[in-house]
Amino acid sequence: MPFDAPSDPDAFREEVRAWLEKNCPDSMRTPMPEDEVVWGGRREKFKNPDSKVWLERMAEQGWTAPTWPKAYGGGGLTREQAKILEQEMARIHARTPLFSFGLWMFGPALIEFGNEEQKKRFLPDIVHGKTRWCQGYSEPGAGSDLAGLQTKCEDKGDHYLINGQKVWTSYANEADWIFCLVRTDNTVKHEGISFILFDMESDGVETRPIKLISGSSPFCETFFSDVKVPKDQLVGEVNGGWKIAKRLLQFERSSISASGFGSARGTGILELDEYAKMHVGTDGDGKLLDGDLRGRIADHQMYAKAFSLTVQRSQEQAKAGQEVGHTASIIKYAAAKMNQDKFELMVEALGTEALGWEGEGFDKGAKMTTRGWLRSKGNSIEGGTSEINLNVVSKRVLGLRDHQ
Amino acid sequence: MTFILSEDQEMLRDTAVSFTRDELPVKHLRELRDAGKNGVDPEARQKLAELGFFGVLIPEEYDGVEMSMVAFGQVMEAQGRTLASTPLLQTACIGASAILLGGTEAQKKEWLPKIAAGEVTTALALDETSHHNPAGVATEAERDGQGYTLNGAKKYVQDGHHADVFIVVARTFGEAGDTHGLTLFLVPRDAKGLTVQSLNTVDSHGAAHLTLDGVHVDDSHVLGAADKGMDVLEPVLDRGRIALAAEMLGSSLAAFEMTHEYMQTRKQFGQLIGSFQALQHRAARMFTDLELTTSCIAAALAAVDSQRNDLAELASLAKARASETVHLVSNETVQLHGGIGMTDDHDSGFYMKRARVQEAMLGSASFHRDRYARLNGY
């Protein structure tokens, strides 16, 4: 059972430290190879058995979702306490026990909009990594214009019937359940959308992976034909799904910016100049040989520093009770630009070493950089394109109006 | 809490913002220009002194109001908003800091109360070419019997056209390019052999070229240790750079706000120009840039007060980001105003002209990118 967190921060830190010391397996205090990332769910294989132990212990404490209420399996911690937990984990280089769209996006939205029965039913399984969720938002004709979605949901009396297609559904082929936007009214746009949940093993669900320019397939096309969904799996009101969708997008944007793009954290920033020195070389004074590249790297690093100071400022302002609603879009836009710039500079620093694809003859790390560079092109598209984020800033923050 | 102002700091900011808005609007700078005053207004200087702005960084024992760099940054930002031409940067920040950090007790007692009272203005005479380069000083200070004799020339000295006393950086040892061997001297304007050539500058704030032809100063005029001027100069320059960056943020914000308002009132093709997506995105990009720059300035100001060891890095970050932002915003201000932005009657041009002076002073964006890279070991 999770212990009752002492309110004194120092006492809490001490208890957390002692608990981590006792419970975090040694092999979970090392850098995580890509194939040991734990996404949970029915199909999770736990390549490293320690990662199963680690997930179970953390989940038992509710610490995979430290700030969620204990009633739903969370840790019931305050933001400050969660920060301490994060710091103590970082101190021993503990791995993140669970990666999960349920934790980052769906759970927080369900806590705000779900009914009691739904929260009790779905949230604890997310905390424990038992259910892996995917997001059914984009459609072939509705990407940036998300509210144009057409997937049809009909009321059949004792159940709903869903027909249509989704695209860019991240890891749909590995997910157990989907949180999905569907059209319940054709006559209106935003007000005709509902938010519904269903099992990916339901009859009539088909997924096909999409291969990207980077060679990987994190996304799928997802097809629904006559999928029957019990009525108690609709969240909120019928036709009231848009506000849930928007709130969830905010969670998505901040989780992408905070965790997906490495530049925001110290390590990624330091890497770039070390990386360039290693591959381009230095003069007698330790300066990068390519002066132009050096200037552009410095420019990038200053942008990255400005970015992380802005994230910090926004957190301090929120804590002091100031309005910071406008920062989510700015941060998503800037984080995407920054991560893409970083990869462009890394590829440039590598020179021809960056031009390998697979097999022998190229350094393994260089090949990962190349794949990362290709993958980063998606940063300004996924989770709201940069253009959509600029629209949000100009309309909501700067109050600029549409054409009359 | 690096990013949240205290009540005192907020009060000072509000005072500074309303003072510059009411007493020193862009219109005031325009009037000084049209009257051939070269940015100099003794009456305004007196009012700034009455408000205590010259003494923000000066301890109470020398008649200052002893606040903080964060507080001073609020005054500079307010001044930047209206492009006010005041001696605050050179005197209240650079001059006062140089004397505080390098001066003897006698020098502090002599100068600081006069600075706080607005009775004396100072100007840093450092650069000798068209580009900021502290180590590049070649002006010679030769030891003579009771002091030193100075020979050389200084270029584009901010506030030099009206300063009462100059802080002259000269070389007592080594050669141009060496970071050691520099010494700081307090040289009164009326010193024999000192020629001040007043300059009419693009921003209408004025400046001066100086010629030092056998200027004699005695030992009591040396500021800090001989040959070790860089120990005082570097931290003083960083304070100046951060304060100037705060001023630049103020200019950027004001120019952006003016443009933002225009986008919501000006119609073309029967539509508000602010409804065109191409322009909306440019406004949103500027806004993002302003937000990032705001964070850098706040962090750098606070770093002075808490004496952080990455101060130099944050100073270069603040000055470089502020330079890039003010450059972008001032250009966009002219462009988004269209034809009217090109006219002298409109304020846009004043922001763009002042921006280029701010960018060049105390190190351009490239100077600070280079310094940032060096401080980070590459």
In chain A (404 residues long), the average pLDDT of successive 10-residue segments reads: 77 96 95 87 94 97 96 94 92 93 95 97 98 96 91 97 96 96 96 98 97 91 98 97 92 69 39 88 93 96 94 89 82 93 94 93 89 92 91 94 89
Closest CA to B173 of B125, B228, B232: B228
CA dihedral (B231, B235, B238, B240) positive or negative: negative
Q: What is the pLDDT of residue A262?
A: 41
pLDDT computed for residue A258 by the predictor: 61
Pairwise CB contact (< 8 Å): A302 & B320: yes
Task: Say whether residue B274 is in contact with chain A using an 8 A CB cutoff.
Answer: yes
Candidates B284, B293, B373; nearest CB to A298: B373
Cβ–Cβ gap A273/B378 under 8 Å: yes
Residue A349: both structure tokens together: 């620093």
Residues of chain B found within 8 Å of residue A282, distances taken between Cβ atoms:
378
Which phi and psi (to 5°) does residue B305 adopt? -65, -35
In angstroms, the CA B21 to CA A67 distance is 46
Which residues on B lie below 8 Å from A276 (Cβ)? Answer: 378
Which residue is it, tokens 């580009």?
B131
pLDDT, residue B319, reads 98
Is B11 in CB contact (< 8 Å) with chain A? no
Among candidate residues A88, A139, A252, A382, the one labeled active-site is A252
What Rg value do the Cα atoms of chain B yield, rounded? 21
User: End-to-end CA distance of chain B, in Å?
Assistant: 31
Instruction: Find the closest chain B residue to A387 by CA distance.
Output: B281
Best CA proximity match to A51, nearest among A100, A101, A96, A2: A96
What are A291-318's pLDDT values in tens digits? 999 999 999 999 999 999 999 999 899 8
CB atoms inside a 10 Å sphere around CB A173: 18
Q: What's the start-to-end Cα distance of chain A, in Å? A: 60
Q: Model-level pTM greater than 0.90?
A: no
Q: Are B284 and A398 inside 8 Å of each other by CB? A: yes
**Spans of chain B, pLDDT less than 70:** none
Cβ-based contacts of A327 with chain B (< 8 Å): 291
Task: Inspect the interface and report whether the beta carbons of B370 and A316 lie closer than 8 Å.
Answer: no
- Cα–Cα distance, A279 to A294 (Å, whole number): 13
Q: What distance in Å separates the CA atoms of residue A311 and residue B294, rounded to the nearest whole number? A: 12
The single residue listed with the structure tokens 């250009």 is: B331
Residue B374 at interface with chain A, using a CB cutoff of 8 Å: yes
Question: How far is B351 from A43, CA to CA, in rounded Å?
Answer: 61
* CB-based contact B292 A303, cutoff 8 Å: yes
Q: Residue B199, exposed/middle/buried by CB under 10 A (0-12, 13-18, 19+)?
A: middle
Non-local CB neighbours of B104 within 8 Å, separated by 6+ positions: none
Q: Which of residues 70-129 of B touch A (CB under 8 A)?
A: none
Structure tokens at A181: 């936007």
Is A391 an 8 Å CB contact of chain B? yes
Hey, is the C-beta of A302 within 8 angstroms of any chain B C-beta? yes
A309 shares contact with chain B (CB less than 8 Å): yes
DSSP state of A104: I
Q: How many CB pairs under 8 A join A and B?
A: 122
Chain centroid to Cα B306, Å, comes to: 21
HSE, CB side, 13 Å, CA atoms: give it for residue A371.
16
Beta-carbon contacts of A388 under 8 Å, excluding residues fewer than 6 positions away, are A144
Is the Cβ of A298 closer than 8 Å to some Cβ of chain B? yes
DSSP letter for A13, please: H
Task: Give B275's contacts in chain A (Cβ within 8 Å).
Answer: 400-404
Using the beta-carbon criterion (under 8 Å), do A398 and B277 form an inter-chain contact?
A: no
Which residue in chain B is spatially nearest to A282 when comparing CA positions? B378
- Across the interface, whether the CB atoms of B274 and A400 are under 8 A apart is answered yes
Residues of A in contact with B256 (CB under 8 A): none
DSSP A31: P
For residue A271, indicate whether it is catalytic.
no
In chain A, whose CA is at the least distance from the CA of B377? A286
Tokens of B211: 């010629």
- Tell me how far apart the alpha carbons of residues B328 and B321 are, in angstroms, rounded to a whole number: 11
Cβ distance of A286 and B378 shorter than 8 Å: yes
Tell how strand B182-188 and strand B222-223 pair up.
antiparallel
Instruction: Select from B56, B30, B80 the least CA-distant residue to B357.
Output: B80
Helices (H), A210-290: 241-255, 266-280
What confidence score (pLDDT) does residue A268 get? 41
- What ipTM was estimated for this complex? 0.92
d(CA B221, CA B109): 14
Q: b/e string for A276-301 if b means 16 or more Cβ within 10 A? A: bbebbeeeeeebbeeeeebbbbbbbb
Q: Does B135 touch chain A (CB under 8 A)?
A: no
Q: At A219, phi and psi to the nearest 5?
A: -115, 160
Per the CB < 8 A criterion, the answer to whether A148 and A142 are in contact is: yes
Q: What is the pLDDT of residue A365?
A: 84
Rounded Cα–Cα distance for residues B185 and B182 (Å): 10
User: Would an 8 Å CB–CB cutoff place B363 in contact with chain A?
Assistant: no
Q: Which of B285, B317, B370 sits opposite A306 (nearest CB)?
A: B317
Q: Does the beta-carbon distance from B288 to A303 stay under 8 Å?
A: no
Model pLDDT, residue A259 = 53
* Residues B87-121: tens digit of each pLDDT: 999 999 999 999 999 999 999 999 999 999 999 99
What is the distance between the alpha carbons of residues A115 and A72, in angstroms, rounded to a whole number? Answer: 12
Taking CA atoms, what residue in A is nearest to B6? A320
- The DSSP letter of residue B128 is -
Nearby residues of B105 by Cβ (< 8 Å), 6 or more positions away: none
**DSSP assignment string, A45-80:** --SSHHHHHHHHHHHHHTTTSTTS-GGGTS----HH
What is the reported pLDDT for A270?
Answer: 44
- Distance, CA of B326 to CA of A46 (rounded, Å): 52
Surface of A (329-348) touching B: CB under 8 A: 330, 333-334
Name the DSSP class of A397. I
Tokens, residue A292: 């132009």
Q: Which amino acid does the sequence have at B30?
A: R
